[in-house]
Copies of this chain bind each other. A is one copy, B any other.
Amino acid sequence: MHKHRFTKTDSRNRRKQAMELGIIGLGKMGGNMAQRLHDGGHKIVGFDFSADALKRLNDAGSKGVTSLEDLVKSLTGRRAIWIMVPAGDPVDETIAKLKPFMNKGDIFIDGGNSNYKDSQRRHKELKAEGFDFVDVGTSGGVWGLKEGYSMMIGGDDEPVQYLTPIFETLAPAKDKGWGHTGPAGAGHFVKMVHNGIEYGMMQAYAEGFSIFKAKEELKLDLPQIAEIWRYGSVVRSWLLDLTAEALEKNPTLEGLEAYVADSGEGRWTVFEAIDLNVSAPVITESLIRRIRSREQNNFTDRMIAIQRNAFGGHAVKKD
């Protein structure tokens, strides 16, 4: 059975060990992770379609290659390849292109934002062909390079343990911010819900500050309030730290459009909650509000306006 929890004893007994790792996708996340691993003493070989990304990697002392074949062949011993590409087909395509060059026992790591069901499927398919597959939900954004990444890891015990030196280097501290959360898919499942919670927290803060802004008579100073709350308050958090900094730079949020994108993980969380019969109104409402932010000339509102007009003769606004 896999071991869920990382204990101090394990980590103390394990020598810090330099490893080799291939990384595919050297964007905002992958590029920073490559650098953090290189700085931590690991040998990194990276692939990206962008010549600039490869140059940055080379300049930082790692090795950039221009084909997946070269990537695999640049690694010795049991290969571990960290795939950091957009969720969905790109992951399947990358795996398919890598497989011809990989040996039995080599490890595919999906560190992106894949749907956990895809990770369960990929694990099963690769396992049947003799490969290992580990799914890593990775949080920390652009700050990970400096502060370390939080990683939730799903997969079989053996490959997860084998990769421990990599996780210890990427994490904020050797023993902190990462863990093997369960079987295949459990990494991406936990990361998915992490993002759902993130939606809820962001919406809660945003609503609060909107109330402040609307209370014009008190002439509240939004950056000041965010700054006060960073110390000693119940709502202090890393998100609040960043919010305080952002508000300091742009207290009125001028120039920004009221438009919020969403990656897939919030909606997957909502689907999952419903499938599991868990009532999760706040995460759901946070998603709905993001969707709402993208609706132009909202049809629902116009339907209500026309209904009011129909029964009550209430005036409607014309475009």
Q: Is the CB of B271 within 8 A of A224?
A: no
Q: Is the CB of B283 within 8 A of A208?
A: yes
From residue 187 to 243 of chain A, which have CB atoms closer than 8 A to chain B?
Answer: 189-190, 193-215, 218-221, 224-225, 227-240, 242-243
A67 at the interface (CB under 8 A from B): no
CA of A244 to CA of B296, assembled, Å: 24
Residue among B269, B285, B311 making CB contact with A143, cutoff 8 Å: B311
> What is the chain B residue whose CB lies nearest that of A147?
B232
A286 at the interface (CB under 8 A from B): yes
Question: CB-CB < 8 A to A25: which residues of B?
Answer: none
CA of A311 to CA of B250, assembled, Å: 16
CA of A268 to CA of B308, assembled, Å: 18
From residue 244 to 259 of chain A, which have CB atoms closer than 8 A to chain B?
Answer: 245-247, 250, 253-259
Question: CB-CB < 8 A to A144: which residues of B?
Answer: 232
Q: Is the CB of A253 within 8 A of B152?
A: no
Scoring A189, A208, A298, A299 by chain B CB atoms within 10 A of each residue's CB, the highest score goes to A208
Contact A207 to B212, CB < 8 A, known contacts A234-B194, A281-B281: no
A292 at the interface (CB under 8 A from B): yes
CA of A136 to CA of B105, assembled, Å: 53
Scoring A142, A269, A280 by chain B CB atoms within 10 A of each residue's CB, the highest score goes to A280
Chain B nearest Cβ from A310, distance in angstroms: 4
A272 at the interface (CB under 8 A from B): yes
Question: CB-CB < 8 A to A60: which residues of B?
Answer: none
Q: Is the CB of B279 within 8 A of A179?
A: no
A121 at the interface (CB under 8 A from B): no
Q: Is the CB of B198 within 8 A of A201?
A: no
A177 at the interface (CB under 8 A from B): yes
Q: Is the CB of A149 within 8 A of B210?
A: no
> What is the chain B residue whose CB lies nearest that of A289?
B281
A183 at the interface (CB under 8 A from B): yes
CA of A141 to CA of B310, assembled, Å: 9
Question: CB-CB < 8 A to A9: which residues of B?
Answer: none
CA of A184 to CA of B86, assembled, Å: 34
A185 at the interface (CB under 8 A from B): yes
Question: CB-CB < 8 A to A150: which residues of B?
Answer: 228-229, 231-234, 236
> What is the chain B residue whose CB lies nearest that of A206?
B303
A169 at the interface (CB under 8 A from B): no
A277 at the interface (CB under 8 A from B): yes
- A sample of 13 inter-chain contacts (CB < 8 A) reads A148-B232, A150-B234, A202-B308, A204-B204, A206-B300, A207-B278, A207-B282, A236-B237, A237-B240, A238-B311, A239-B311, A253-B302, A257-B316
3 A-B pairs with the lowest CB-CB distances in the bound complex, closest first: A200-B204, A237-B237, A177-B231
